[in-house]
Chains A and B, each alone.
Chain A
Amino acid sequence: MKPHRLATALATVLGAAFVVPAGTALAAAVGQPAPAFTAVDTAGRTVSLADFKGRHVVLEWVNPGCPYVRRHYDSASMQAAQKDATARGVVWLAVNSTAEDAGDYLKPAALAQWMQAQQAAATATLMDADGRVGRAYAARTTPHMYVIDPAGKLVYAGAIDDSPRASLAETPKAGNHVRAALAESLAGKAVSTPSTQPYGCSVKYSSM
Chain B
Amino acid sequence: MQRAEAIGAARDGPLRGTHNRHWRGTRATASSPNRVMNQLKLLLAAGLAAPLLATAAPGAVVTTPQVRAELVAHAPEGIAAGRPLSLGLKIEHKPHWHTYWKNPGDSGLPTTLAWTLPAGLQAGDIEWPTPSKLPIGPLMNYGFEGTLLLPVTVTVPADFTADALEVRLRAEWLVCKDVCIPEEGEFALSLPTQAATAGDAALFAAARASLPQDVAGARATAAIEDGSLVVTIAGLPPDWQGRALTFYPETPGVIQNAAKPPDRWQGSEWSARVPLDPQRSDSPTTMPVVLAAEGQPAGLRVQVAVTTPWPAIGAGPAPTVAEVLAPVPAPAAPAAPTVGLALALLLALAGGALLNLMPCVFPVLSLKVLGFAAHGSDRRTLLHGGLAYTVGVVLSFVALAALLLVLRAGGEQLGWGFQLQSPAVVATLAALFTLIGLNLAGVFELGSVLPGSVATVRARHPLVDSLLTGVLAVAVASPCTAPFMGASLGLAVTLPAWQALAVFAALGLGMALPYLAASAWPALARLLPRPGQWMQHFKTVMAFPMFATVIWLVWVLGQQTGIDGAAALLALLLALSFAAWALGSPTLGARARGGFGAGALVLVAAALFWAVPALRHEAAAQVPGADEVWQPWSAERVAQAQAAGQPVFVDFTAAWCVTCQFNKRTTLARPEVRDAFAARRVLLLRADWTRRDNAISAELTRLGRSGVPVYALYAPGAAGPRLLSEILSVDEVQTALSSLPPS
Contact = CB atoms under 8 A, between A and B. Distances in A.
Interface of A: 1-19, 21, 26-33, 64-68, 74, 102-107, 109-110, 113-114, 117, 131, 135, 138, 140-141, 153, 155, 157-158, 164-165, 190-191, 194-207
Contact of A67 (B16, B40, B106, B313): B16
Nearest to A113: B33
Contact of B37 (A5, A15, A113, A141): A113
B314 A197 contact: no
A144 to B, nearest CB: 9
A11 B659 contact: no
B281 A19 contact: no
A196 B31 CA distance: 36
Nearest to B108: A202
Contacts of B24: 103
29 contacts: A4-B656, A5-B340, A6-B491, A7-B420, A7-B429, A8-B418, A10-B486, A10-B487, A11-B419, A11-B429, A12-B408, A15-B424, A16-B416, A27-B278, A66-B179, A67-B182, A68-B180, A103-B27, A107-B31, A113-B33, A131-B137, A164-B109, A165-B109, A190-B314, A199-B107, A201-B179, A201-B180, A205-B137, A206-B137
B556 to A, nearest CB: 9
B76 interface: no
B432 A103 contact: no
A197 B19 CA distance: 26
Contact of A31 (B23, B180, B315, B414): B315
Interface stretch (B492-500, B570-578, B580-588, B696-704): B492-500
Contacts of B172: 165
B378 interface: no
B244 interface: no
Contacts of B278: 26-30, 32, 138
Given A15-B416, A103-B23, A195 B281 contact: yes
A11 B279 contact: no
Given A2-B726, A7-B658, A109-B33, 18 more contacts: A2-B340, A4-B707, A5-B491, A7-B429, A8-B420, A8-B656, A10-B487, A12-B490, A19-B425, A29-B278, A65-B179, A74-B44, A141-B106, A197-B281, A199-B107, A199-B109, A200-B180, A201-B180
Q: How many of chain B's residues touch chain A, expressed as a range? A: 35 or more
Given A2-B726, A140-B106, A202-B108, A14 B23 contact: no
Contact of B494 (A5, A113, A199): A5
Nearest to B47: A74
A208 B447 CA distance: 52
A5 B343 CA distance: 12
A158 B279 contact: yes
A40 to B, nearest CB: 18
Interface of B: 16, 19, 23-24, 26-27, 30-31, 33, 36-37, 40, 44, 47, 106-109, 112, 136-139, 141, 172, 176, 178-182, 252-253, 277-282, 313-317, 335, 340, 343-344, 347, 404, 407-408, 411, 414-420, 422, 424-426, 428-429, 432, 486-487, 489-495, 654, 656-660, 707-708, 726
Contacts of B317: 31-33, 153
A197 B40 contact: no
- Main SS at interface, chain B: mixed
B420 A11 contact: yes
Contacts of B47: 74
Given A1-B343, A2-B340, A165-B112, A202 B313 contact: no
Contacts of A31: 313-317
Contact of A141 (B33, B107, B178, B495): B107
A11 B418 contact: yes
Given A195-B281, A202-B137, A16 B27 contact: no
A48 B106 CA distance: 27
Contact of A158 (B108, B136, B182, B281): B281
B536 to A, nearest CB: 26
Contacts of B408: 12, 16
A93 B708 CA distance: 52
Given A12-B493, A14-B429, A207 B137 contact: yes
B252 A15 contact: no
B492 to A, nearest CB: 7
A31 B136 CA distance: 28
Given A33-B317, A65-B179, A194-B313, A110 B33 contact: yes
Contacts of A191: 314
A10 B552 CA distance: 14
Contacts of B176: 201-202
Given A4-B658, A10-B487, A15-B428, A204 B493 contact: no
Contacts of B30: 105-107, 110
Given A15-B428, A67-B182, A195 B486 contact: no
Contact of A21 (B109, B404, B414): B414
Contacts of B37: 113-114, 117
Contacts of A14: 425, 428-429, 432, 490
Contacts of A103: 23-24, 26-27, 178-179
Contacts of A32: 278, 317
Top 5 A-B pairs, shortest CB-CB distance: A10-B490, A194-B314, A29-B278, A12-B418, A12-B493
Nearest to B346: A1
Contact of B19 (A5, A67, A194, A202): A67
Nearest to B342: A1
Contact of A28 (B137, B279, B315, B487): B279
Contacts of B432: 10, 14
Nearest to A26: B278
A113 B281 CA distance: 35
Given A15-B425, A32-B317, A68 B182 contact: yes
A183 B451 CA distance: 55
B185 to A, nearest CB: 14
